[in-house]
Amino acid sequence: MMESATVLGAGSWGTALAAMLAARGLRVQFYGRDEALMAEMAVTRRNGRYLTDVEIPAEVEPVSSLQALRPAPLVVFVTPSKSMAALAAEMGSLGLVDESTVLLSCSKGVELGTGRCMTEILHGVFPQVTVAALSGPNHAEEIARRMPSAAVVGCLDEGMAIRLQQTFSLPWFRCYTSTDVLGVEWAGAMKNPYAIAAGIAKGLGLGDNAIAALVTRALAEMVRLGVASGGRTETFYGLSGVGDLVATCYSEHSRNHRVGLMLGQGRSLSDIMGGMRMVAEGVPNTESLWLCARGRGVRTPLLDEVHAVLYEQKSPREALRELFSRDPRPEVD
């Protein structure tokens, strides 16, 4: 068991993870860049912006300056994927990471342009450090309230994977391990655009049959692109794949699903994004994943239509017509 950790990112997921690690007995430094929010949190023991009814344990120390952090054996990154590289570099420049530090990504995304997953970004900055990823059907709103959940830790070092598994195991949180780090990460990132698609379908008034078909075909696309990117097929049928896909496509907690729902109801993307306080990773990651699919020559008709709606001004109804007018083909191909 690790004795302490640093959690970087004061959104809902970061708040839930900080509280969970504290419940496991760790001392937690909880970093957020909003000085007023973190100062308020230190007094009220509540995150006044996210998960407002969840008490933050006394073992959690809110911090608003990276310079105020102390080195910790475990650093948990829970920041938007586009911020990962810059934050990692800053942590390195401040001497907060050495060869004994374990870096755990709880952010789900693929870097635009490079196609790198979050652990690949971290490994690029810290080549001698152990990196891992935690993923699964993990809505912060439920985990913070100690509702039963499960996740998988991906790490090439099996011994460290087990150590992290023990660190994140609680009576309401079951943790599994995997050495397929790329598969775990690609699955976690890829489900977000399909959650937007499921939300669009709901917003257009489609029924359970159509949405179930959409989710099933989304999984097929995830397997094709994920395996082409270095993941193992079986990983996509696990918690970070189909588990997270189902939760995100159907849950009211999913920001990506809500974005799709509003698009299907006729609202513009700029209007939707302007009214959101938290990042819907599916929006930027649709572009990243679409470019990766094109570069790898992988067929992704659902992803293509989500990209067209978000970035090519195609209407959701036209995207639906396009999908249903495609040439018939075998289910397994």
Tell me the pLDDT of the chain (333 aa) as tens digits.
789 999 999 999 999 999 999 999 999 999 999 999 999 999 999 999 988 989 999 999 999 999 999 999 999 999 988 899 999 999 999 999 999 999 999 999 999 989 999 999 999 999 999 999 999 999 999 999 999 999 999 999 999 999 999 999 999 999 999 999 999 999 999 999 999 999 999 999 999 999 999 999 999 999 999 999 999 999 999 999 999 999 999 988 888 999 999 999 999 999 998 887 777 788 889 999 999 999 999 999 999 999 999 999 999 999 999 998 888 889 887
Instruction: State yes or no: 12 annotated in a binding site.
Output: yes
Instruction: State yes or no: 11 annotated in a binding site.
Output: yes
Instruction: State yes or no: 70 annotated in a binding site.
Output: no
- CATH 1.10.1040.10: which residues of the chain? 190-324
Tell me which residue of 14, 325, 327, 25 sits closest to 169, measured CA to CA.
Answer: 25
Tell me which residue of 257, 28, 228, 18 sits closest to 137, measured CA to CA.
Answer: 257
Q: What share of residues in the chain are helix, strand, coil (percent, to 5)?
A: 50, 15, 35
Instruction: State yes or no: 13 annotated in a binding site.
Output: yes
Looking at domain 4-182, which CATH architecture does it have?
3-Layer(aba) Sandwich (3.40)
Tell me which residue of 320, 302, 322 sits closest to 222, measured CA to CA.
Answer: 302
Tell me which residue of 150, 118, 314 sits closest to 239, measured CA to CA.
Answer: 150
Instruction: State yes or no: 199 annotated in a binding site.
Output: no
Looking at domain 190-324, which CATH architecture does it have?
Orthogonal Bundle (1.10)
Active-site positions read 191
- CATH 3.40.50.720: which residues of the chain? 4-182
**Count of beta carbons in the 10 Å neighbourhood of residue 84:** 24
Give the helix ranges, DSSP H, for the chain.
Answer: 12-23, 35-44, 84-93, 118-125, 140-143, 158-167, 181-203, 208-228, 244-250, 255-264, 269-274, 282-296, 301-311, 316-324
**Count of beta carbons in the 10 Å neighbourhood of residue 34:** 13
AA letter at 312 = E
Instruction: State yes or no: 169 annotated in a binding site.
Output: no
Fill in the DSSP letter of residue 180: -
Query: What is the pLDDT at residue 274?
Result: 84
